[in-house]
Structure 1
Amino acid sequence: MSLFRLDASILPATSASHSLADLVEAEWTSSHPDSTVTRRDLSVDPVPATTWAAAVTAKFVSPEDRSDEQRRAQALASTFADEMLQADALLFAVPLYNYGVSQHFKTWFDLAYTEPRIDPQGTALRGKPATLVTVLGGNYSPGTPKEGWDHSTGWLRRVLEDVWGLDLRIVQRPFTLVGVNPALDAFTEVANELKQQAEESARTYGRELAATRQKRAA
């Protein structure tokens, strides 16, 4: 049994997404104590933005004429694919940054997307159980003043669930900047409730992640 975990927080030591992902992982390892967890932390080992272009342009050049940079880009894309394909379940921890998708995750996805085994024509990832943990500094839920400002979660769902076909569950925690930004102090009680709800969802989805894999293996 194996779990692949990807973290995209730029501040892993104090990351809310990292903490929630830890809860998911703890439930997984509780059910599968002998399993292997493969981790990729994009803050520690970021993917250079130029790598995606190198992998894309390599497809238009004969293998013998590809540059060293193009070969390295394709090899890294293959590594990304291997990490997901060899895992029994997937865990992604991706914060909302500046109302959009984390550039670390987007660069990782763009490069992985060049790999023929996991592009839209591929079916290797379809049905694989996965959990997405995402956190938001504010609250962009329906009825809030900034409703619709979260331009990350919807995109993440599209690429993970619809493009790659993962069996996806989402844990979301809003208001992580309450207690950090004094302008949000009035929302302390609400933020604490949302934090507790997110933590419970993380534990529940962690158990479901492990159970889904057990059903697939049966």
Structure 2
Amino acid sequence: MPTLLHIDSSAFPQGASASRDVAASFREAWQRENPDGTVVYRDLAADPVPHIDATAISAGFSDPAGHTPEQQAAWAARLALIEELEQADAVLIGAPMYNFTIPSTLKAWLDHVILMGRTGGDSPSAAGTPVTVVASRGGSYAPGTPREGFEFVQTYLEKLLGGMLGLEVDFIVPELTLARTTPAMADLIELADASRAKAHQDATEKARKLAARLSA
């Protein structure tokens, strides 16, 4: 049965986070289709991956036989993350927009799993793996909106996940998530609710179709 790697990065818990809530809808639909499947879950807010340092970087580009004890530990931790990605049949990432881009916790995870010559480069080891990104955002950064040029979540992740890692990238984008808590956005509540409802519907449908495709 297929394995789903589920990554959440919102600083807020489920119920207070659009990315977590929509990702949960995807995961629940996936598990209904794959009751005997495996879900590997990482909550990067509750259990953050350390920001990559010189020891972890150098360990990825040197012979393990010559690693120092510090490099051995750093490489083992990094390798565990890389292998989770490589062994997944599908990936689900909750990626809320913070200050126009992804949370630093998600960037830290990406820095560890990206290794040129293995997961990145001419023959990426996880190439072709479908990844669904729930890219929630407090306002709207859609084409044609005043803030279009400030969108660096989809733009960045499309290039990195698709272009560098060779993954098959799909996005679900609940917008205007701050409308109900920001008085200046009160006129946008109806649009926000519609966007969230569509995101949940898309999550359920995409999970169901993807699970069926991978089980065929």
TM-score (norm 1): 0.90
Q: Return 119-128 or 187-196, whichever deviates more.
A: 119-128
Percent of residue pairs bearing the same amino acid type: 34
Task: Spell out, residue by residue over 1:40-79, the C-alpha distance to the aligned partner (whole angstroms, 9 max, x if none).
Answer: 1100111122x34322223566646544332222112210
Contact map agreement 2:9 2:103 (CA 8 A) in 1: yes
What amino acid maps onto 2:33 in structure 1?
S
2:120 paired residue number: 119
Of 19, 25, 28 in structure 1, the residue corresponding to residue 27 of structure 2 is: 25
Q: Distance in 2 between matches of 1:52 and 1:73?
A: 9
Contact map agreement 1:55 1:114 (CA 8 A) in 2: no
**3-state SS of 2:92 partner:** strand
Q: Distance in 1 between matches of 2:76 and 2:116?
A: 9
Contact map agreement 2:117 2:124 (CA 8 A) in 1: no
2:107 paired residue number: 106
Q: Distance in 1 between matches of 2:123 and 2:95?
A: 24
Task: Give 1:11 shift.
Answer: 1.1
Q: Return 132-141 or 70-79, whichever deviates more.
A: 70-79
Structure 2 unmatched ranges of 5 or more: none
Contact map agreement 1:3 1:87 (CA 8 A) in 2: yes
Task: Give 1:158 shift.
Answer: 1.2
Structure 1 unmatched ranges of 5 or more: none
Task: Give 1:116 shift.
Answer: 4.5
What amino acid maps onto 2:199 in structure 1?
A
**3-state SS of 1:148 partner:** helix
Q: Return 182-191 or 159-168, whichever deviates more.
A: 159-168
What amino acid maps onto 2:25 in structure 1?
L
Contact map agreement 2:60 2:115 (CA 8 A) in 1: no
**3-state SS of 2:173 partner:** strand
Task: Spell out, residue by residue over 1:103-138, the C-alpha distance to the aligned partner (whole angstroms, 9 max, x if none).
Answer: 111111011113753122333211112211110011
**3-state SS of 1:118 partner:** coil
What amino acid maps onto 2:147 in structure 1?
K
What amino acid maps onto 2:56 in structure 1?
A
1:4 paired residue number: 5
Instruction: Please show how residues 108-187 of structure 1 align to structure 2 within 5 Å.
Output: 108-114=109-115, 116-187=117-188
The count of aligned residue pairs is 214
Q: Distance in 1 between matches of 2:45 and 2:174?
A: 20
